[in-house]
Amino acid sequence: MNSDALTRGMLFLSLTVMGVLGNGAVICAFLLAMYREGRLLPADAIVLHLASTNLMVVGVRCLLEVLATFNIYNAFNDVGCKAVIFIYRTSRSLSIWLTFVLSAYQCLSVAPPGSRWADARLLVAQYLGCIFLALWVINTSMSVAPLLFAAGVKNDSKLIQNGINVEFCFLSFPSKISRDANGGVQVGRDVVPIVLMAAASLIILAFLYRHSRQVKHLRSGGPITGGRQGQSAERRAAVTVVTLVTLYVLFYGVDNGLWVYTLTVQQTLSSSLISDLRIFFSSLYAAVSPVIIIASNKKVNKQLMCKNRLKVFF
C-alpha cells in the first residue's frame, strides 16, 4: 500500500470512529429520554433525526471506503456502487436540510409569545412528521442518478468521456449535458438551504445581540429576579444552532466548490483526489456536529455520564 492510500484510509477511519461514536451517543441519549419521558420535544426529534442521518453518512460511505482502502472488504461492484452512492447522497442531503429545519425552528423559537412567528413554530411542531416524510421523498427522488449511472471501475472509454471518478466507482453519464444537469440539481439542492440557514442564523444572532443589551440594561438597573435559567438555556441552544450552521457553510461550501470545479473539467479526472476531498469535507460535518451537540448540551452530557433523567435539549 502506497503512502497516499494509507493517508486516505487513515483519514476516513478517523471520520468513521468519531462519527459513529458521536452520533451513536446522541441517538442513545435521546432514545433513552424518549423511553423515560414517553415523548420528545420537536427540537429533540430534529436533532435525533439529524444524528441518524449523519450516522448513515459515516457508517455507509466512510466505513466502506476504509474497508476497501485497506483491502478488507470491497463492496464497490456495480450493485454496490449504485447502493452506496445513492444512500450517501440521500443521507448527505437529508443532513443538510435537517440542519436547516433545526435552524429555522430555533429561529422561530426566539419570536415573542403571541406573534405569528410563534404560531408558525407551533404549526411546524404539529406537522413535524410530515416535514420529515417530505424531506425523505424529495431528497430520495433527487438522488436517483447513481442508481442509473454508477458502476464499478472498468476499462471503458465512455467512463473517461462523461464520467466522475470516485476512486472505487465511476458515475458514467450518457452525455455532458446530462452530467451538467445532474450537477446543477445537486448544487441547487445545497445552495437553497444554505441561503435559508444563513438568513435564520442572522436572525438568531440579531436576537442574541438584542438580548445581551437587554440583560446589560437590567443588570445596570438592579438584580434579575426571574427567567434567568430559561433565558440561559435558550441562549445556549441558539449558539449551538449558529455553530452547526457555520460548520455547514464552511464544510459544504468547500464540498460544493470542488463539485463545481469537477463539472467544469471537460474530461474525467484520472485521479479521485477531488472526489475524496468532497467526501471528506461533507463527512467531516457529520462527524464533528455530534461533538458540538454533546459539548454544548449539559443534559445530554449528564444522561451519557450519569444516566440520570434527561431534560429538554432546547
Residues whose CB is less than 8 angstroms from the CB of residue 174 and which lie 6 or more positions away in sequence, other chains included = 149, 162
Instruction: Please give the C-alpha separations between residue 240 and each of 55, 82, 102, 205, 260, in angstroms, as whole numbers.
Output: 19, 35, 10, 11, 30
- The span from the CA of 8 to the CA of 280, in Å, is 9
**41 half-sphere exposure, CB direction, 13 A CA radius:** 12
- Residue 42: name the closest of 125, 150, 112, 164 by CA: 125
Q: Distance between CA atoms of 193 and 179, rounded to whole angstroms?
A: 22
Whether residue 174 contacts residue 162, with contact meaning beta carbons closer than 8 Å, is answered with: yes
d(CA 1, CA 157): 27
- For residue 155 the three cell numbers come to 476499462
| Domain ranges across the chain | 3-219+228-311
Q: Give the pLDDT of the chain (314 residues) as one tens digit per residue.
A: 677 778 888 988 998 999 999 899 889 888 888 888 888 888 889 989 999 999 998 988 888 888 888 888 778 888 888 999 899 989 988 988 998 898 888 888 877 777 788 888 889 989 999 999 999 999 999 888 888 888 887 655 445 577 777 777 888 888 888 888 888 888 888 888 888 888 887 887 777 777 667 666 565 554 544 444 445 555 666 677 777 777 777 887 788 788 787 777 766 566 677 778 888 888 888 888 877 777 665 555 555 555 444 344 44
Contact (CB, 8 A) for 151 and 78: yes
Q: What is the DSSP letter of 112?
A: P
Q: Which of 47, 74, 89, 7 is nearest to 283 (CA)?
A: 89
Q: Return d(Cα 170, Cα 148) in angstroms, integer.
A: 12
* C-alpha to C-alpha distance for 167 and 162, rounded to whole angstroms: 16
* The three cell numbers locating residue 119: 404560531
Contact between 57 and 282 under an 8 Å Cβ cutoff? The reply is yes
Residue type, 248: Y
pLDDT of residue 266: 63
- Identify the CATH homologous superfamily for domain 3-219+228-311: Rhodopsin 7-helix transmembrane proteins (1.20.1070.10)
Separation of alpha carbons 217 and 263, rounded Å = 53
0.85 exceeded by pTM: no
Question: In which residue are the cell numbers 455530534 written?
Answer: 290
Q: What is the pLDDT of residue 157?
A: 43
